Structure 1
């Protein structure tokens, strides 16, 4: 089982140059993503005087997140794996692809990147408040938790298939694009209900800067369950311990 492959990591890993470079890559990539994503929400609200759950606003915000995440993953994927998300890191941990110690470094870097991005947005917009995630009227908290589980499962499953799986072949070249697309699509599907975070760091930065925490727990519980389950399921079902044949290449389909 994948859970047996979880490793604590060695103490020297915390100060190893490769670990430091990877953590820095996660910091800057998360900063880029949150600045673009949260910035699109704030910009749309300023331009229209409304919120991003109108049809045009939802499309604009989904596109900004998709493009921002595409770039954020692309610039970090060769250094840190391009997680840009504590739920992705947790999914990789549950599948045995990252140690607990390195995962903690990633989490710290991702959360700091999100906070710095939110502070920069507040400063550059002359004190305009960031927009923490919240559950829409008529949607229960546990409805939102399940929604976050399902959306984050799809995201982390996509990460595994295109960026982590050793059999990905040439599919690895489109990993950043596929990851950005699934986040954009999920925002179109769930943004009107709970904002469609799928990323605890994306939720943490705006919540800390705005000081609004009412629904914040949802955006940790749902993504971590969905991401962890995706990592376990992919390793258990899709990665045989002893391959019986050479897997087909994408061009053979």
Structure 2
């Protein structure tokens, strides 16, 4: 089981220069991602008189978030791994791919990056509201909870397959693209129901700046559970096995 691989690490790790550089990279990458993603929604609302919930708004959100995440992951990959998401960090921790102390340092950086991005947007737009994530009419908290679990599972599973798996080979080159694509696709699938957060930091920043915490737990519990399941499944079935893969001729 991957649980025996979980590492707490040492407290001194939070002040190690390498860990601090990685945290700074996470802060910058998350700021880039949230500023572009949240900003695109605010811009679309301004241009279309609050039309972000229309089909066109959903496509625009998927495109903006997919492109922004592609860049955010790519620019942070060589320093921090390009998590840009507390759920991704948690999934990596569950699989034993990051220590607890380093993961907590990443969490602080990611939440701070999202908050700063939203504060900058509020200032730069003259006080426009940084809209928090909300459940659509007719969508219960449990509906939204399941949506966030499934979408985040898909995201973190993609991260494992393309970025974390030691056997990834050349596919690691397209990891930022694949990760951006799955987020964009999930927004098209779940955006009309929950807003498709998949990322507690993305939910936290707007909620803090606008001070609207309605159903915030859905956007934390759902992604963390989905990420944890993805980490366990991938580590247990695709990384922890000791046998050599069958040659392609066997399939």
Q: TM-score by structure 2 length?
A: 0.97
CA distance in 2, matches of 1:247, 1:17: 43
Kindly indicate whether the alpha-carbon contact (under 8 Å) linking 1:132 and 1:203 is maintained by their aligned counterparts in 2.
Answer: yes
Query: For residue 109 of structure 1, what is the aligned residue in structure 2?
Result: 109
CA distance in 2, matches of 1:12, 1:243: 37
Residue 61 of structure 1 deviates from its aligned partner by: 0.8
Of 7-16 and 117-126, deviating more is: 7-16
- Name 1:26's counterpart in structure 2: 26
Structure 2 unpaired stretches of 5+: none
Q: Deviation at 1:245?
A: 4.3
Give secondary structure in 2 for the equivalent of 1:28: helix
Residue 163 of structure 2 corresponds to 163
Where does structure 1 lack aligned partners over 5 or more consecutive residues? none
After the TM superposition, which parts of structure 1 deviate over 4 Å for at least 4 consecutive aligned residues?
Answer: 245-248
SS of equivalent to 1:192: coil
Query: Is this contact kept in 2: 1:203–1:216, CA < 8 A?
Result: yes
Aligned partners of 1:102, 1:65: CA distance in 2, in Å? 26
Contact 1:167 / 1:247 at 8 angstroms: preserved in 2?
no
Corresponding residue SS for 2:58: helix
Q: How does 1:1-253 map to 2 (within 5 A)?
A: 1-245=1-245
Distance 2:32 2:244 in 1: 42
- Distance of 2:134 and 2:73 partners within structure 1: 26
When residues 154 and 247 of structure 1 are mapped into structure 2, their CA distance, relative to the original with a 3 A threshold, is farther
SS of equivalent to 2:78:
coil
After superposition, the C-alpha distances for 1:62-119 in whole angstroms (9 at most, x for unaligned) are 1000000000000001110100000000000000000000000000000000000000
Mapped to 1, the partners of 2:52 and 2:198 lie a distance apart of 17
Report deviation, 1:52: 1.5
Aligned Cα root-mean-square deviation (Å): 1.2
Contact 1:114 1:202 in 2 (8 A): yes
TM-score (norm 1): 0.96
**CA-CA distance at 1:165 after TM superposition:** 0.3
How many residues were matched structurally?
A: 249
